[in-house]
Amino acid sequence: MNIIRKVTLEGVNTRSSITRTIHLYAPCCKNQAGRYRITPRKDLPLTYEMANPPHQIAHRKAWNSWNTSNIDGGIRPAQTAIEDVFIRKFVTGTWHNLFVSEVIIKRQHNIIRIAGIIRRGIGARKMYFLIGYTEELLSFWLQCPIKLELQTVADKRDVVFKYI
Amino acid sequence: MLSYSRSFEKFLFSNVEKSLPFSIAYSTEVKKEVKEEFRVLNLKNVKRQTQPKRAQKQLEALPPRTNKMPVDQDWGSVWPGPRSFHPASVPLPVRQGYVEKGVAPDKYANAELIKIPNFLHLTPPVIKRQCEALKKFCTPWPKALENDKECEKHFPIEVTSSDYCHSAPTIRNPLARIVTIKFKLSSLNLNERAKDKFLRLVGERYNKETDTVAIVTDRCPLKKQNYDYAMYLLTACYHESWNVEPWEELKSEADMEYYDWSKNASKKSVEALFGKQTEDIPNVKEYSEAVSTLMNEGESEYSVTKYGDSVRKLLGLPDAPKT
């Protein structure tokens, strides 16, 4: 299905005509989001979450955000989505280079539970500080109780599901 | 072009001026280095001997406490409230995930287990314990309301409204304002005329099959206001249906929407025929019913036959010969 169309604006002389080509190749319709390419050496580490493409959600893997905003009759869908993006950015930035899984955001009533797996890259005291810091600041901004429920792994290779 | 070169010269000059003190400092540094070793001009940008990567400091973590858990522990105090799954606290060999060949990933560092909601805080013994704790706040069920019939008798109005639980910082939901009240029409104290008027006022809110009236109010912003409005509507309809307006008295037989035997010429002619009041004539009730059915529901084989039978009975004639 190779279609290349030339759209020429009429009324303009041919020397300075504006040409626009529209590509409608079949490869242009290919889904690429959330999929990873196989590397020549087969050494790209993938977590379970990364190993399963988005169409496997609700089959092999679950959602990263759990809330009732998008069900029928749910309230605040837009605000929830924006807040989730903000929480993800804040958490990954605050726990810099420590999160080895995705940030999982679960909402129950007005509580927001932020879960995930982190690497034991910093000491326990720093970790406790960061937990308190994240909870305090996020609950101030979002005006609701925040709970951070983290698991730690010794090495980031612990969460690797496969190499491609 | 000319102006461009000029400005370029100017730029160069100012740059030289500025960088002068730095260049001096640089030269002193060079002298120091010369004492030790010549600097190598690295034109091809060849990498020097790479330093070994600093090993990441391994922080010791305690062994998972599931190792130390006794078999007969009190699970309710290990996992007292709702919480995301944690492999070191749950002594179950759970696995989650799909692997084409091989076993599913185990609980350690398994993000799928964190995602799914768990009910580890609501085990049957814990629920039992919580119910026991709540029991002292409960009152016994009133003895007078043993069955549904009694309940309906003492509480004829059924009020329905919804509360919504969302995972959102707000507890408000616009749908929570809607209030529905239901009651049986027979529970109201109405006579024939008032009942007719009540049904006209209520309109399609009356369900003929179940004999219930349902009033839904959603025009006020709050649930309480809507409840009050529904109660007001009920009261207003009730009293209005008992109210007889002066123009209602003007209703003649031609305005009647159904055939009422007791107000019609048929009754008078029967009374004239027998020379008695209607109450004293035997079998008149059956006749009146047959006439009403015939007039209200139209002619059908059944109603006509019934009418004929009742007339024979009324006049004391023998039954119609069976065909």
Minimum distance, in Å, between the CA of residue A63 and any CA atom of chain B = 7
User: In angstroms, rounded to a whole number, what is the distance separating the alpha carbons of residues B31 and B253?
Assistant: 128
Do B136 and B87 contact (CB within 8 A), yes or no? no
Answer whether residue B193 is part of any domain: yes
What's the whole-number mean pLDDT along residues B36-44? 78
**B156 and B178 together in one domain:** yes
Same domain, B199 and B269: no
Banded pLDDT at A4 (limits 50, 70, 90): very low
User: Is residue B284 within 8 Å of residue B311, measured between CB atoms?
Assistant: no
Q: Is residue B154 part of a domain?
A: yes
Claim: this prediction has a pTM higher than 0.80: no
Are B160 and B239 in the same domain? yes
Instruction: Say if B124 falls within a structural domain.
Output: yes
Pairwise CB contact (< 8 Å): B108 & A144: no
Give the side-chain half-sphere CA count within 13 A for B172: 5
Q: Does B38 fall in a domain?
A: no
| Residue B307 maps to a domain | yes
Domains identified in chain B, total number: 3
Q: Are residues B244 and B155 in the same domain?
A: yes
Pull the structure tokens for residue B138.
Answer: 């409960």
Contacts of B30 (CB under 8 A, 6+ apart): B39
Distance from CA of B167 to the nearest CA of A (A): 4
Is there a domain that residue B239 lies in?
A: yes
ipTM value, please give it: 0.81
**pLDDT tens digit sequence for B62-95:** 899 999 999 999 999 999 999 999 999 999 999 9
Query: Does the CA dihedral B80-B84-B90-B93 come out positive or negative?
Result: positive
> Tokens standing for B199?
């049904």
Statement: residue B27 has pLDDT above 70: no
Rounded to an integer, the average pLDDT of B228-239 is 96
Domain containing B85: what range? 76-92+102-132
Distance CA B215, CA A141 (A): 43
Q: Which residues are CB-contacts of A20 (< 8 A; sequence separation ≥ 6)?
A: A6, A7
- Domains, chain A: 45-163 (3.30.70.1350)
The domain that holds B221 is classified in CATH as 3.30.160.20
- Residue A14 vs residue A140, higher pLDDT: A140
Give me the pLDDT at residue B136, please: 94
Domain match, B165 and B208 both = yes
- Say yes or no: B175 and B197 in one domain: yes
Q: Of A68, A115, A158, which is closest to B167 when you measure between CB atoms?
A: A68
- Whether B80 is in a domain gets the answer yes
Average pLDDT on B163-192 reads 91
| Separation of alpha carbons B305 and B314, rounded Å | 14
Average pLDDT rounded to a whole number, residues B104-132: 94
Reported confidence tier of residue B243, pLDDT bands at 50, 70, 90: very high
Contacts of A150 (CB under 8 A, 6+ apart): A115, A116, A117, A118, A131
Mark yes or no for CB contact B112/A104 under 8 Å: no
Q: Which residues of A touch B164 (CB under 8 A)?
A: 73
Shared domain check, B302 and B230: no
Instruction: Let me know whether B232 and B269 are in one domain.
Output: no
Residues B169, B193, single domain; the answer is yes
Q: Express as a percent the part of chain B with pLDDT over 70.
A: 87
**Cβ <8 Å between B169 and A60:** no
Give burial (CB, 10 Å; 0-12/13-18/19+) of B244. Answer: exposed
Position with higher pLDDT, B52 vs A81 = A81
Last residue of a domain, one of B232, B250, B268: B250
d(C-alpha A102, C-alpha B35), whole Å: 54
User: Residue B118: inside a domain, yes or no?
Assistant: yes
Residue among B111, B170, B173 whose CB faces A117 most closely: B111
Closest chain A residue by Cα to residue B56: A121
Beta carbons of A74 and B166 less than 8 Å apart:
yes
* Whether residue B227 sits in one domain with residue B155: yes
Q: Which residue among B110, B114, B168 sits closest to A75, beta carbon to beta carbon?
A: B168
CA distance B78 to chain A (A): 16
**Does the pLDDT at position A24 exceed 80?**
no
Can you give the pLDDT at residue A31? 84
Whether residues B176 and B232 fall in one domain: yes
Name the DSSP class of A42.
S
A-chain CB neighbours of B116 within 8 Å are: 62
Instruction: Residue A83: name the closest of A149, A144, A148, A128 by CA.
Output: A144
pLDDT at A1: 40
Q: Are residues B124 and B191 in the same domain?
A: no
Q: How far is A151 from chain B (nearest CA, A)?
A: 7
Q: How far apart are CA B143 and CA B139, in angstroms?
A: 12
State mean pLDDT over B185-205: 91
**What does the alpha-carbon distance between residue A154 and residue B238 come to, in Å, rounded to a whole number?**
75
Angle at alpha carbon of residue B184, lines to B225 and B198, rounded to 5°: 75
Q: Please say whether the beta carbons of A162 and A49 come within 8 A.
A: no
DSSP annotation of A19 reads: E
Let me know: does B128 contact A68? Beta carbons within 8 Å: no
